[in-house]
Amino acid sequence: MTALGDAVWVALAGSDTPAAGASQALPLQQSARLLGGYRWVEQRLFEVLGRWAATESLPEACLLFDVQSQQHAWHAELFEERLPVLDGFDPAEVTVAPSVGVERLLAGLAGDEPAGAASPAGADDDGRRGGTLLRLAGLGRVILPRLVAGYTVHLRRCAPMADAAVARVLRLVLDDDLDAWRATELMVQSLARRPHDLAVLTDHQRHWEELLLGHAGLAPWPAGAATDASAGPTPGSAPSVGPTPADTPPAGTPPAGSPPAETPPAGTAPGGSLPLG
């Protein structure tokens, strides 16, 4: 199942509707690596947004960063609780960046990029590291949309029984992230007042998105993971919901092989033997 197929399924059935016939959970090691990647991202967002809150001059943005920072700390704890509990298993071994691109993205947003690293046009050191509008754009137009997309893909691929606990965590996290996305986007739109602001925002978003091309979300679905059991509709098709009208016999048609019904004599009342008139 591709991300495009997931998008079609969500459009038709909603983000919380599992794929028809979904029953196969990820293998334990793949599940642990995926959840460990989620935990790493959430911990890093807690750190980055906490740092922003401590240095932000706009009170409204400071409050938004602080609230979301605490939410991401809680999300990291939720994902940690869903990691396997096995002898010899160390959660720190799977709590790693999902990709080099994600690591660079969060380092750049935090202002931790190495010297000489390319930065978006129009964002000097002060703008990139401390500019309120660019911080909000990175959060609301790159980070949060990808979190929502990635968690939605995972939720719809959850096996109903084996992944019930993980699905519950994903729903809780998605509720927070959707609210955070709306609040952040509202603040971006209220602060972007000039054509120059839009140009800088667009270039800033493109710069960070280029690091993540090729997959949905921030922690991509494991390569080679079996998804046939959770396959949903593909573009141009719709999920089967039952027999088509051509397959359904008209009401009152006798079963195949039964003798033909007797025709009552003319003038006989329906269902009776008394003559009419």
% of the chain exceeding 90 in pLDDT: 48
Residue 57 confidence class, pLDDT cut points 50, 70, 90: very high
Q: What pLDDT shows up at residue 96? A: 95
Extents of the domains making up the chain: 25-112+127-230
**Is the predicted pLDDT of residue 243 greater than 60, yes or no?**
no
Q: Is the pTM of this model over 0.75?
A: no
Spatial contact of 275 and 267, defined as CB atoms under 8 Å apart = yes
Cα–Cα distance between 237 and 222 in angstroms, integer? Answer: 25
**Is the predicted pLDDT of residue 272 greater than 90, yes or no?**
no
Q: What pLDDT shows up at residue 102? A: 95
The upper half-sphere exposure of residue 157, i.e. CA atoms within 13 Å in the direction of its Cβ, equals 23
Q: Which residue has the higher pLDDT, 245 or 92?
A: 92
% of the chain exceeding 70 in pLDDT: 66
Name the fold adopted by 25-112+127-230. Answer: Ferritin (1.20.1260)
* Average pLDDT score, the chain: 78
The upper half-sphere exposure of residue 41, i.e. CA atoms within 13 Å in the direction of its Cβ, equals 26
Residue-wise pLDDT tens digits, 184-242: 999 999 998 888 888 888 898 999 999 998 878 999 888 766 544 334 333 333 333 33
Residue 148 confidence class, pLDDT cut points 50, 70, 90: very high
Q: Which of 55, 57, 51 is nearest to 69 (CA)?
A: 51
